[in-house]
Structure 1
């Protein structure tokens, strides 16, 4: 990882560099609000934007990227295959039309509905066609990752997972690392739930940082790429300002202790799986 905000990256199996901090646009409505959020992020130095077919805001993301004036090759763009559809290749073509670009840098299976392997051949076809420069997965457990690795011709580069001190999926992150897969954290702030935790607030006060910055920095120090979501420009800027400090060992240990998952290898608790 390099020191400069705009250049801090993790190296993927395919040789691409994925930024350590990006903007996620889950639950951001298609339209001006989404465009403003993406525009604000790009103006602030972000170079990773994460969307999905299921979010229904790819068109807004594409408009904001095109209007930014930033060369497309300088932006790392992720979208995700909705596994309620049948063919990842057909669906990425539709995504590219909405995004107004010729390729995405990363194309993920959004969740393992129907099992972890059936859609992968379509993901590989998208990669071979040059429509997705990298392919990966999201919400896959360690066991599901292993199943996929047994049948893949092109290995996944990323597993995007729910991850924070309260959802510290250490065994899953370790399984990803063992496979050369970069783990990426979504909901690092617990959609805001974690910001008022007393331990997080105490560490934020002691370090002169905000609770959001502490939570994002913790995930970075665990080796993950992180995609916090916000539509407020000041928070978008704040979430990116996390490269000029480090949490000390005591702070990291205190945050580790907040885990409620027993450092699970699972991507989500059984009760949270919406695809069963």
Structure 2
């Protein structure tokens, strides 16, 4: 498994499974088990997803040593205390720690949750802490006011949403950029340019989109609950896109390489 290095020295797998919108119960459990059997070692959940218990059950049933799995969850900012919520997440996940704990979005301002995140880190409950859906400016604000700077920033990322300035800001600050929804929740799979590259390379559109993110130095967490697609996505690790294909995909960007994590009007917090 390819990996990126966090500022604490730990390695985060370049490819993981996200379980956003996957329901609590057998569907989540089956997806996580299928991913671990396929070779994934990064599982990404959140308090807001409501499926942490299922993720925990799947991790136990896999038989893999806990230290071989990189587990991420996210603090729900509508709640007050990241440390207290971390303890509840650990109970649901049935584990002593998470490898990465993220502020899910900057509700109340970029630094509102950070003291509690640092407390969770100091207590050893979260080996690494970071943010999600933070712009370059919001990331800088947290970093300047923190004792422990964010180690990762997770945001929506694909050739169509090439937030290159945000990625560059992350890398300059020694923050691992991580992209979710690399397939545009399936919307990008039928794009003609993506389909043409897939046909030329003998790969699937999903593999092309995931591979583009990997080659841009971004850890990526495609979501799926279908074992065959989970396995298909994992095969994005097995090839490389040439410069011409990368350039074609680069040209699909609609964001002008924005440093923002969300487009105007897309924020669901205040």
Q: Tell me which residue corresponds to 1:118.
A: 112
Q: Matched residues in 2 for 1:193 and 1:117: separation?
A: 33
Q: Matched residues in 2 for 1:87 and 1:245: separation?
A: 43
Secondary structure of the 1:117 match is coil
Name which of 263, 268, 273 aligns with 2:257: 263
Pairing 1:84–2:75 present: no
Q: Cα RMSD over matched residues?
A: 0.5
Name which of 17, 24, 31 aligns with 1:23: 17
Deviation for aligned residue 1:229: 0.5
| Gap regions ≥5 residues in structure 1 | 1-6
Deviation for aligned residue 1:242: 1.5
Secondary structure of the 2:240 match is coil
Q: Tell me which residue corresponds to 2:32.
A: 38
Q: Matched residues in 2 for 1:112 and 1:95: separation?
A: 20
For residues 102-251 of structure 1, what are the structure 2 equivalents within 5 Å?
102-251=96-245
TM-score by length of 2: 0.99
Q: Matched residues in 2 for 1:132 and 1:11: separation?
A: 16
Once the two structures are superposed, what CA deviation does each residue of 1:81-124 show, in whole Å capped at 9, x if it has no partner? 00000000000000000000000000000000010001101000
Q: Matched residues in 1 for 2:224 and 2:165: separation?
A: 28
Q: Matched residues in 2 for 1:247 and 1:99: separation?
A: 37
Pairing 1:68–2:62 present: yes
TM-score by length of 1: 0.97
Deviation for aligned residue 1:244: 2.2
Q: Matched residues in 1 for 2:116 and 2:130: separation?
A: 12
Displaced runs of 4 or more, over 4 A: none
Secondary structure of the 1:84 match is coil
Q: Alignment length, in residue pairs?
A: 270
